[in-house]
Structure 1
Amino acid sequence: MLFNSFEFLYFLPLIIIGFYILPQKVRWLWLLIGSYYFYMVYEPALVLLLVASTLVDYFCALKIYSAKTQQIKKIFAGTSIAVNVGILIAFKYLFFFSASLASILAYFGIVIPIDEAEQSYHISQILLPVGISFYTFQTMSYTIDVYRGRIKPEKHLGVFALYVAYFPQLVAGPIERASRLLPQLKKKVAINLKNIEQGLIMMAWGFFLKIVVADRLGIYVDEAFANPESPHGFSLILGAFLFCFQIYYDFSAYTTIAIGIAKVLGVDLIQNFNRPIFFTSSADFWKRWHISLMQWMRDYVYRPLVVNLKLKRVPAVLIVFFVVGLWHGANWTFVVWSMLNALLLIAEVSTNTFRSRLFKKLQIPKKIISFLGWFFVFCYLTITLVFFRSSSITTALVYLENMCNLGSLHINILNNYLELFLCLIFIGIVQLIHYYKGNNKVYELVLEQPKHYKWIAYFGYIIIIVLFGINRQSSFIYFQF
């Protein structure tokens, strides 16, 4: 079920009203039923994978906690990881790995009839379960934390199932830790008008980001990337630039709505963004972008590689970003995107001392250095996102090549200067608000105002949505991951 769908407009009020009407002891069941229904709207049969992942991790965690020896703990922890990774491979990467292996073998003259196998077994037709990358990572972190002794296992199967399937963040995150979310799902929640008001405003802001801004940018981006061979380089540059903001606002919109819904229900979800466009370096950007995923990678991939396996920092970073790329999708374009970012991060950290000495010797003002550094990293990130957005590496290279055709100043590929102007204006407005209020305190813009100004803001929001909203109910970009 899409947040920006008409079905959700009926679903959410029913869930909220039922939650506060029902007794505390059965609220978990109400939310669990609602969460499973929310997920089953996409493809009912695929909910079985969600159930399987839930049951495996629930029982593995209990066995880990009660195990008498370290070896038994490792067996059940390994079982949990193997099942979750196996689900990911089977339903997300099977055809990708098969096709990649066939290509490698073909290079050495060994031909595998992958096309015939695909037709026989319908490999490429296997449905990709929505949100599979999010909930498998969330359940794996739970089992690993129990194995590490950081948390105790949840004995209530229903509450644990709700932790895995909690509908606000089930499909596209943020990826929550059991130590944060489980206690909140079990606590007694009373009606708190302040929290409800804050949550509703955050939801409204998320819908604005999605319906008014991200979807508007997407129209231009779709047109630009549909024609990578365009001779108008500036239009392709603008397309890449707008995609940088589209993917940010689209993903930020989802998590903002999710945070708002959870807030109304008395739960605080982790902030997934911290003004990422206002980074000071590549390393700083990755601390601000998709925070829940990058923290997951830090705790469950990077640190085990460095601490347990004694791997050097550079290969560990490369492995982490390779996993990040694959996590985003079964396409080498995502891997190229992530590895290019890894190379920049490594180069930045490796040359930090040298650059500091050089800039000090040249006596260049710090503000100029900061701006030039920001501008370079932003342009680099924008270029790498061309691979993220393209259907293949070849298409991305064609797009990048034609970005260099600067003989024409033509950028208005939609033949609508008003829409292009609105795109830039809305980007400026959003960035200005994020600069002063961040991603998590936007509600202060309304709540800090006198009562009559609040109502003006509410009516103004409705007018903006009606006048400038893009009515195409497009899914969120990160739904495919």
Structure 2
Amino acid sequence: MLFNSLDFAVFLPLVFLFYWFVVNRNLKLQNLFVAIVSYIFYGWWELEFLLLIFISTITDYFVGIRIFSTSNYLKKRVYLGLSLFVNLGMLAYFKYANFFITNFNEAFSIFGSNFNIHSLNIILPVGISFYTFQTLSYTIDIYKNKIRPTKDFIVFSAFVSFFPQLVAGPIERAKNLLPQFKVKREFRYEKAVDGLRQILWGLFKKLVIADNCAVYVNYIFENQADLSASTLLFGAVLFTFQIYGDFSGYSDIAIGTARLFGFDLMQNFAYPLFSRDIPEFWRRWHISLTTWFRDYVYIPLIKLGGRGNFYRLRNIFILFFLTGIWHGANWTFIAWGTLNAVYFIPYLIFKNKKSHKGIVAENSNFPSLKEVYNIFISFILSVLAIILFRAQTIKEAWSFYLGMVDASLFSMPYYRGIGYSRPLLILIFVFMLIEWYGRKESHALAGLSNIKFPLMRKLIYFLIILSIGVYMWAETSDFIYFQF
């Protein structure tokens, strides 16, 4: 079920009304209801996929209890290994089996061996990477004595399958989300209204920005051989806005929807396009994933030993290799992760470890010239890397890069029909202005509450709703991160 579909527009109000007016007086019944509607939400795609979530749920429910109850260190490791085997095993099969088969065949063909192992007929379950990492963090944290397991199976089932963030995050930690299922939720008008604001902004990002950018991005990437260097750069820039609007839009809708039901999810994007360097960009982009890898991969690597830039760089490359392969079974994602790791080399050698951690122009309405320069450089580096993310093959990405190395880079972007992109460029400009104005808040529209003139606030909301109403009937696409 898509957030931007008519099905969800009917599903959400019905669930909301039933949740607050029928089952609200009984916490267990309320949690059971959340688990049931979450399974309905996910089963809307494929009923067979529900079995995978149930296997992950029941495995980690019992594994978590066994890890906590035994004092034998070896048994703890065995139980944790079982959780890793089941969850990562399913992920590896559904997401990477054909990737390994294809590359196995190609590797042996280089030496003249004619291996012809046929690819498997596998459909990738929506969101498997997200809920797998969410439930794994539960067993790992129990193993590390950071949390205690829950013995309420309904609560744990609701935690794993919670429908707002089930298929594309944020990847929640048990220590944050699980306790919220154990306490009675009270309806708060202010919280619900803020949730609606965030949903509205997420829909604007997806329907108005991302889906409109997709029209031009698809054409440019599919016809790159016939286009000028400046047009290719234009396409890469638009794809940066597309994927940001698409994924952060989903996160906003997910977080806002959760708030309607009394839950607080972690912020997943913190205005990354205003980052002043690449490390800051990765602290602000897909925060739930980057912090997951930080806590369960990067920090353990540090504890293994080794000091100095060489070991830091090694850890960075491992981290971004895993980030790349997490996104998809394709060499383009591995190359994208590797390029982002390369971006860290000058930072590790020449810059302070802390980098930029505050908000850009924190005490001003306008950035300094230095901040503008740093934001521009960070943005261009992100754009160059994102080409690998969008390309279908390494060869296609390489051709795209070569096409940009041309004197036509300094000409105006052009192809027949590009003139229709002018309204989109205006919308992107307005979009970035609102993001800039709300950069100190958890989501951009929260910043509108600081506007002193109520009429202006209402006008902005009206224009946002109007633009969504205009573009919602245009061609829409699935959220990009559903494929991960």
TM-score by length of 1: 0.91
- Confirm whether residue 267 of structure 1 aligns to residue 263 of structure 2: yes
Q: Which structure 1 residue ranges, 5 or more long, are not aligned?
A: 357-365
> How many Å apart are 1:190 and its aligned residue?
1.7
Aligned pair in 2 of structure 1 residues 109, 351: CA closer, same or farther (>3 Å)? Answer: farther
Aligned pair in 2 of structure 1 residues 83, 290: CA closer, same or farther (>3 Å)? Answer: same
> How many Å apart are 1:92 and its aligned residue?
0.3
Instruction: State how 1:329-368 maps to structure 2 within 5 Å.
Output: 329-352=328-351
Question: Matched residue of 2:225: which SS?
Answer: coil
- The separation in 2 between residues aligned to 1:150 and 1:231, in whole angstroms, is 54
The count of aligned residue pairs is 463
- The separation in 2 between residues aligned to 1:369 and 1:452, in whole angstroms, is 35
- The separation in 2 between residues aligned to 1:339 and 1:143, in whole angstroms, is 29
The answer for the alignment partner of 2:193 in structure 1 is 197
Match among 201, 209, 213 for residue 213 of structure 1: 209
Question: Matched residue of 1:413: which SS?
Answer: coil
> How many Å apart are 1:410 and its aligned residue?
5.4
- Confirm whether residue 75 of structure 1 aligns to residue 40 of structure 2: no
Instruction: State how 1:223-302 maps to structure 2 within 5 Å.
Output: 223-302=219-298
Partners of 1:65 and 1:153 within 8 A in 2: yes
The answer for the alignment partner of 1:401 in structure 2 is 402
Question: Matched residue of 2:430: which SS?
Answer: helix
Match among 61, 66, 71 for residue 63 of structure 1: 66
Aligned pair in 2 of structure 1 residues 443, 373: CA closer, same or farther (>3 Å)? Answer: closer
Identity of aligned residues (%): 39
Match among 476, 479, 482 for residue 476 of structure 1: 479
- The separation in 2 between residues aligned to 1:413 and 1:13, in whole angstroms, is 44
Partners of 1:60 and 1:76 within 8 A in 2: yes
Partners of 2:210 and 2:246 within 8 A in 1: yes
What is the letter of the counterpart of residue 18 of structure 2?
G
Match among 443, 446, 450 for residue 444 of structure 1: 446
Partners of 1:160 and 1:182 within 8 A in 2: yes
> How many Å apart are 1:444 and its aligned residue?
3.1
> How many Å apart are 1:68 and its aligned residue?
2.2
Write the deviation string for residues 180-213 of structure 1: whole angstroms up to 9, x where unpaired: 0011122211221111111111101110111111
- The separation in 1 between residues aligned to 2:407 and 2:40, in whole angstroms, is 51
The answer for the alignment partner of 1:374 in structure 2 is 375
Write the deviation string for residues 40-73 of structure 1: whole angstroms up to 9, x where unpaired: 1111101101110111111110000011211100
Partners of 1:230 and 1:402 within 8 A in 2: no
The answer for the alignment partner of 2:413 in structure 1 is 411
Write the deviation string for residues 9-47 of structure 1: whole angstroms up to 9, x where unpaired: 100001111110113321111111110011011111011
- The separation in 2 between residues aligned to 1:46 and 1:309, in whole angstroms, is 41
What is the letter of the counterpart of residue 84 of structure 2?
I
The answer for the alignment partner of 1:182 in structure 2 is 178
Of 286-295 and 306-315, more deviation after overlay is shown by 306-315
Write the deviation string for residues 331-365 of structure 1: whole angstroms up to 9, x where unpaired: 00000001000011123211227xx9xxxxxxxxx
Q: Which structure 2 residue ranges, 5 or more long, are not aligned?
A: 356-366
Partners of 1:215 and 1:470 within 8 A in 2: no
Partners of 2:277 and 2:378 within 8 A in 1: yes
- The separation in 1 between residues aligned to 2:454 and 2:377, in whole angstroms, is 44
- The separation in 2 between residues aligned to 1:377 and 1:465, in whole angstroms, is 30
What is the letter of the counterpart of residue 324 of structure 2?
G
Match among 20, 23, 26 for residue 24 of structure 1: 26
- The separation in 1 between residues aligned to 2:444 and 2:189, in whole angstroms, is 17
Aligned pair in 2 of structure 1 residues 464, 302: CA closer, same or farther (>3 Å)? Answer: same
> How many Å apart are 1:368 and its aligned residue?
5.6
Aligned pair in 2 of structure 1 residues 450, 368: CA closer, same or farther (>3 Å)? Answer: closer
Partners of 2:209 and 2:241 within 8 A in 1: no
Partners of 1:337 and 1:385 within 8 A in 2: yes
> How many Å apart are 1:146 and its aligned residue?
0.3
The answer for the alignment partner of 2:361 in structure 1 is none
Partners of 1:159 and 1:185 within 8 A in 2: yes
Write the deviation string for residues 273-312 of structure 1: whole angstroms up to 9, x where unpaired: 1110111211111111111100000000111112036582
- The separation in 1 between residues aligned to 2:444 and 2:412, in whole angstroms, is 36
Partners of 2:438 and 2:448 within 8 A in 1: no
Of 235-244 and 468-477, more deviation after overlay is shown by 468-477
Aligned pair in 2 of structure 1 residues 454, 20: CA closer, same or farther (>3 Å)? Answer: farther
- Confirm whether residue 171 of structure 1 aligns to residue 170 of structure 2: no
Partners of 1:211 and 1:470 within 8 A in 2: no
**CA RMSD, 1 decimal:** 2.2
Of 340-349 and 160-169, more deviation after overlay is shown by 340-349
- The separation in 1 between residues aligned to 2:60 and 2:128, in whole angstroms, is 15
- The separation in 1 between residues aligned to 2:41 and 2:273, in whole angstroms, is 32
Partners of 2:68 and 2:148 within 8 A in 1: yes
The answer for the alignment partner of 1:388 in structure 2 is 389
Instruction: State how 1:67-216 maps to structure 2 within 5 Å.
Output: 67-114=70-117, 117-118=118-119, 123=120, 125-216=121-212
> How many Å apart are 1:263 and its aligned residue?
0.8
> How many Å apart are 1:414 and its aligned residue?
5.2
Instruction: State how 1:4-23 maps to structure 2 within 5 Å.
Output: 4-21=4-21, 22=23, 23=25
Aligned pair in 2 of structure 1 residues 414, 466: CA closer, same or farther (>3 Å)? Answer: farther
What is the letter of the counterpart of residue 444 of structure 2?
V
Partners of 1:203 and 1:260 within 8 A in 2: yes
